[in-house]
């Protein structure tokens, strides 16, 4: 796994795919899509060719993973006889904007679809297609923009329960609100000086609309980062010192999303330095201050 992560961060995709092929060859076919395992721990694709076959894409991981790998659905559709994507219900309408020739159905954990000619988990598509991220560049999803004021900044400081170390204490975002009209993307009330202190509804269309209408998104590593990147919005991504495999702590850019700028902690737990860097860069943008946009 460490070798694969290093290869992906180095953008050496041939090496990463070679490692994935070795892992696939070593798997016991009897454990494929093992119903005794949680969905996010299952493997699905057995290496069968996708060309001119009916393909079922299963979304067994998080919302961010689905958004990240949805970029590969159009090239998959160009090669397969048909493509059906079993998507988390909250994402169905959004993923449907990726392109034509793809059937979107909601994924209900209690009653998944029966197997097709080829089953594949969405995070396996780059490996199956042998395509790097820039083969299908962002933006590849679409959402109607909310009518926000000029210079609006959308903020997300929480990453949920999956990895609490990704979240930033909300109070640290307070200085950022001095430099622009800000909106929170968190589904909870906040004391931050934002235009929507009641929070953002837990609704994908509403969230995507705020992101599309903003000039800039500042977020921690969560689904919001993938959504903003997939929509092609300028995004500043705040990362813990040792982030997830898809982000390199030593880089300022992302091969997955060209509009994303990375801000990684210099030391574990040091959000103060990260926020100071973001505050400096935000001030340099010269966005309309909060009081100037009322």
pLDDT at 287: 77
Same domain, 108 and 157: no
Same domain, 56 and 129: yes
pLDDT reading at 7 higher than 90: yes
pLDDT at 293: 35
Q: Does residue 61 lie in a domain region?
A: yes
Same domain, 160 and 274: yes
Same domain, 262 and 216: yes
Same domain, 158 and 75: no
Residue 146's Cα: distance from chain center in Å?
Answer: 20
Please compute the mean of the pLDDT values over residues 99-126 and round it to a whole number.
96
Q: Does residue 145 lie in a domain region?
A: no
pLDDT at 1: 85
Final residue belonging to a domain, choices 77, 106, 135: 135
Q: How confident is the model at residue 288 (pLDDT cuts 50, 70, 90)?
A: low
Same domain, 117 and 158: no
pLDDT at 286: 82
Q: What does the DSSP 8-state code read for residue 185?
A: -
Q: Does residue 148 lie in a domain region?
A: no
Same domain, 236 and 279: yes
Final residue belonging to a domain, choices 78, 106, 135: 135
SS3 35: coil
Same domain, 163 and 130: no
Domain count for the chain: 2
> In the chain, what is the straight-line distance between the N-terminal and C-terminal CA atoms, in Å?
51
Same domain, 206 and 262: yes
Same domain, 228 and 115: no
Please compute the mean of the pLDDT values over residues 193-222 and round it to a whole number.
97
pTM for this predicted structure: 0.95
pLDDT at 162: 78
8 Å CB contact between 242 and 180 = no
pLDDT reading at 118 higher than 80: yes
pLDDT reading at 289 higher than 60: no
Cis peptide before 223 (omega within 30 of 0): no
Percent share of the chain, pLDDT over 90:
94
Final residue belonging to a domain, choices 106, 135, 164: 135
Backbone phi, psi, residue 118, to 5°: -130, 125
By CB atoms closer than 10 A (0-12, 13-18, 19+), residue 243 is buried
Backbone phi, psi, residue 246, to 5°: -80, -10
Q: Does residue 191 lie in a domain region?
A: yes
> For 137-187, how does the pLDDT look when each residue is reduced to its tens digit (9 = 90+)?
899 999 999 999 999 999 999 998 778 899 999 999 999 999 999 999 999
> For 227-281, how does the pLDDT look when each residue is reduced to its tens digit (9 = 90+)?
999 999 999 999 999 999 999 999 999 999 999 999 999 999 999 999 999 999 9
Pairwise CA distance, residues 109 & 8, whole Å: 30
Q: How confident is the model at residue 4 (pLDDT cuts 50, 70, 90)?
A: very high
Radius of gyration of the chain (CA): 20
Range of the domain at 274: 153-289
Same domain, 52 and 16: yes
> For 17-75, how does the pLDDT look when each residue is reduced to its tens digit (9 = 90+)?
999 999 999 999 999 999 999 999 999 999 999 999 999 999 999 999 999 999 999 99
Q: Does residue 147 lie in a domain region?
A: no
pLDDT reading at 290 higher than 90: no
List the CATH number of the domain containing 177.
3.40.50.2000
Q: How far is CA 56 from each of CA 41, 45, 171, 294, rounded to the nearest angstrom?
A: 18, 10, 44, 49
Q: How far is CA 196 from each of CA 62, 106, 204, 208, 290, rounded to the nearest angstrom?
A: 26, 30, 16, 15, 13
Same domain, 74 and 107: yes
**Among 62-71, 201-210, 251-260, 285-294, the least confident range:** 285-294
């Amino acid at each position: 796994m460490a070798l694969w992560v290093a290869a992906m961060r180095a953008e050496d995709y041939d090496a990463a795919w070679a490692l994935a092929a070795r892992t696939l060859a070593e798997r016991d076919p009897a454990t494929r899509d093992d119903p005794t395992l949680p969905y996010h721990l299952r493997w699905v694709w057995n290496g069968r060719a996708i060309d001119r076959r009916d393909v079922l894409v299963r979304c067994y991981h998080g919302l961010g993973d689905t958004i990240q790998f949805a970029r590969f659905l159009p090239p998959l559709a160009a090669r397969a006889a048909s493509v059906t994507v079993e998507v988390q219900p909250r994402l169905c309408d959004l993923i449907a904007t990726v392109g034509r020739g793809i059937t979107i159905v909601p994924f209900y954990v209690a009653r998944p679809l029966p197997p097709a000619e080829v089953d594949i988990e969405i995070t396996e598509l780059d490996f199956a297609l042998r395509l790097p991220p820039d083969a299908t560049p962002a933006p590849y999803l679409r959402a109607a923009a909310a009518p926000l004021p000029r210079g609006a900044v959308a903020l997300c400081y929480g990453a949920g329960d999956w990895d609490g170390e990704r979240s930033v204490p909300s109070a640290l975002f307070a200085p950022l609100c001095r430099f622009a009209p800000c909106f929170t993307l968190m589904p909870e009330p906040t004391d931050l000086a934002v235009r929507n202190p009641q929070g953002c509804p837990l609704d994908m269309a509403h969230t995507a609309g705020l992101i599309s209408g903003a000039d800039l998104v500042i977020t921690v590593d969560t689904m919001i980062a993938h959504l903003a990147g997939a929509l092609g919005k300028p995004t500043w991504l705040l990362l813990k010192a040792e982030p997830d495999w898809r982000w390199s702590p030593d880089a300022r850019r992302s091969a997955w999303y060209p509009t994303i700028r990375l801000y990684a902690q210099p030391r574990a737990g040091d959000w103060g330095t990260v926020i100071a860097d973001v505050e400096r860069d935000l001030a340099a943008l010269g966005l309309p201050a909060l009081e100037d946009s009322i």
